[in-house]
Structure 1
């Protein structure tokens, strides 16, 4: 005969009282749907740590991984829901539904993941132009734009009531690996590669990857470009301000090239033009955008001594441009257009430093 389940025992009396003994309330199981008690308040937003560009790997205790080419995102998994924050602080949860759904599946734990939203080609390589194409023509068409992009997570800043930014990177890395164990969907672990960085960079360049990133395993999480994180690139790719365009003689009404500028101190200076890497649909879309930003002053926005006809523009649009090197007169060598950065992405415009060809 099956045993009859016993009723849960009542709590033992704790204190005496004039009218009898007082008893504690029965212990109830926690409702997992309720938010957990937070020991450290979850930051509303964290400015990201940025990698400093280096010509060679620095000495020290660094871990190395592939450099992903996409949009930097902070994934906030919170008691009230999920947010995907860009560098500019905009919530792009509607633009990356696959990443958002994968984040919900990581709950009910609360956490903040730091990573890169990317689109991969058939060889598994990320490409900024692929990501832009997934969002439409440079992500600027009207309508509800969504992308099937995935996220490679490379750091964890907060976990279940604990702010992890004060921990060493190697400790955060262990917690990140544990949090993502068994998850191979739209949020994936950006794996460390156990190899000499020089050999790893050579291999990455041979495979057509943009470069590698190294992180000091003994460093805390510090926002900005502190030197704790470094990047080594096969081909340089940076953001430059579009300050004008050369009209096209073709019948399609696009443009021949874009004139680019970088910052030197507080001033914009001309660093050359880019006329390759465009698709016809991009040139037409860009031309419409640029014609709304015509420069109406007599002097151009940057000093210019060229002989070409130029339509000058308000310095507003930021182009991501790939290039091989700098010429002796400070111009981009072999530039190719990759796409437009967005205001919400808070993209950096390249800054030239005296005596420093690595930029900022």
Structure 2
């Protein structure tokens, strides 16, 4: 494949930011007993914060906008699993081939599949197009894998090791600066506020902060933090407003988040649709219409068609209004069912009120 653009470097003067060089492992060190290789590992998830953390305990990376994957290098071959544990090996043939070339017998790499735009920024919409859209079965030859953690390495389970040790081994396996289909997500040591400002100036989604000394713990426990330039979350599509002039005849989509076992209306989105995607979405919604609204709705929109809450849309937005609606929302695309993305939970917004929080 043609090599995708190189990600735009942050905080550069005359040289791009690079991860620190690491010393290779001393072969005279004793070998550790072998650990059984996990069939699957639940991912460590980043907790949203409004501002970067302070202190030397934290290191930073770019926040990638794609599909979270784990790449398993096993004795019988390569497996590529989604966040929800679905096998997508055949959908990423270039990443699979690159994994076969890694100089390791067994390994589990944690990272993100992305497609880069001409400026080297990850673009969720381009990734979806390369896979044929939601429900599509296409294989993506354009996606690359940005590796940011190493959970298993040549017979050793690394989850109880500190991040700094896991990064040491990962950078030996995937050296910084290489431009193949598996690349290293660069570790950046910088002031968090300055790095976030630089990321936003470059048009990136945001940054990730990670504790240097933390083990790898599955779930959203605060060892990893995400700080975004622009908010984005997943919401159910519960209806749409018909239009004779808009793309796909979709004037706007009506959206809902979760609150306990209920769905709560969070507003609408009427921008961000591409012509082809809008017609595909319109056809999908046409097959799941229903007469009654799946939410409590007191709005006055005309020509609303209600749909079963099965389609999950990724929505970019600037903030929340005081009455709990999305502000300046823009449609990014539909999430895959097998991506296992959680729909935004309004329960957690109560305790995080005032900083435009997400779960």
- Taking structure 2 as the reference length, what is the TM-score of the superposition? 0.86
User: 1:349 is matched with which residue: 328, 343, 354?
Assistant: 343
Pair 280,150 (structure 1): closer, same or farther in 2 beyond 3 Å = same
Q: 1:251 to 1:173 in 2, by over 3 A?
A: closer
CA 339–252 in structure 1, closer or farther in 2 if over 3 Å, else same: closer
Q: Which residue of 1 aligns with 2:100?
A: 104
Indicate which of 271, 285, 298 corresponds to 1:305. 298
Partner of 1:273: 268
User: Following TM superposition, by how much is the alpha carbon of 1:181 offset from its aligned partner in structure 2, in angstroms?
Assistant: 2.6
Distance 2:232 2:77 in 1: 35
Aligned pair partner of 2:125 in 129, 147, 156:
129
- What RMSD, in angstroms, separates the aligned Cα atoms of the two structures? 1.7
Q: Of 45, 55, 62, which residue of structure 1 is paired with 2:58?
A: 62
Alignment correspondent of 1:86: 82
Q: 1:108 to 1:251 in 2, by over 3 A?
A: closer
> Could you tell me how far apart the structure 1 residues matched to 2:60 and 2:104 are?
31
Residues 93-125 of structure 1 show CA distances to partners (whole Å, capped at 9, x for unaligned) of 111111110000015520000000001111111
Gaps of 5+ in 1: 1-36
Quote the offset at 1:252 in angstroms.
6.6
* CA deviation profile, 1:105-147 (whole Å, cap 9, x unmatched): 01552000000000111111111011112222x2434x54333
Please list the CA deviations of residues 249-282 of structure 1 after superposition, one character each: whole Å capped at 9, or x if unmatched. 2387531111101112221100000010001111
Shift in Å, 1:292 = 1.4
Instruction: Report if the CA contact (8 A) 2:247-2:278 is conserved.
Output: no
Alignment partners' CA distance in 1, 2:51 and 2:138: 43
Q: TM-score, normalised by structure 1?
A: 0.85
* Aligned match of 1:27: none
1:295-334 alignment to 2 at 5 Å? Answer: 295-296=290-291, 298=292, 300-308=293-301, 309-334=303-328
Residue of 172, 176, 194 corresponding to 1:199? 194
1:251 and 1:203, CA in 2 relative to 1: closer, same or farther beyond 3 A?
closer
1:189 to 181, 184, 187: 184
Could you tell me which of 222, 234, 238 is aligned with 1:239? Answer: 234
User: How many pairs align?
Assistant: 320
Are 2:143 and 1:149 equivalent residues in the alignment?
yes
Q: Does 2:163 align with 1:164? A: no
**Which entry has the higher C-alpha Rg, 1 or 2?**
1
C-alpha distance in 1 between matches for 2:142 and 2:66: 13
**What SS does the corresponding residue of 2:179 show, helix, strand or coil?**
coil
Question: Match of 1:268, SS?
Answer: strand
Matching residue of 1:212: 207
Query: What is the Cα deviation at residue 92 of structure 1?
Result: 1.1
What secondary structure sits across from 1:191 in the alignment? coil
Please give the secondary structure, in 2, of the residue aligned with 1:194: coil
CA distance in 1, matches of 2:179, 2:272: 33
Report if aligned partners of 2:53, 2:209 keep a CA contact under 8 Å in 1.
no
For 2:81 and 2:33, locate their aligned partners in 1 and report how far apart those are by CA, in whole Å: 21
Is contact 2:104-2:154 (8 Å) kept? no
**1:139·1:145 contact (CA, 8 Å) conserved in 2?**
no
**Helix, strand or coil for the counterpart of 1:82?**
strand
Match of 1:339 among 330, 333, 341: 333
Say whether the 8 Å CA contact 1:97–1:148 is kept in structure 2: no
Is contact 1:94-1:146 (8 Å) kept?
A: no
Q: Summarize the alignment of residues 214-233 of structure 1 with structure 2, pairs less than 5 Å apart.
A: 214-233=209-228
Q: Within 1, Cα distance between the matches of 2:221 and 2:91?
A: 30
8 A Cα contact 2:151 2:166, kept in partner: yes
Query: 2-side partners of 1:306 and 1:344: how far apart?
Result: 33
- Say if 2:37 is the partner of 1:45: no
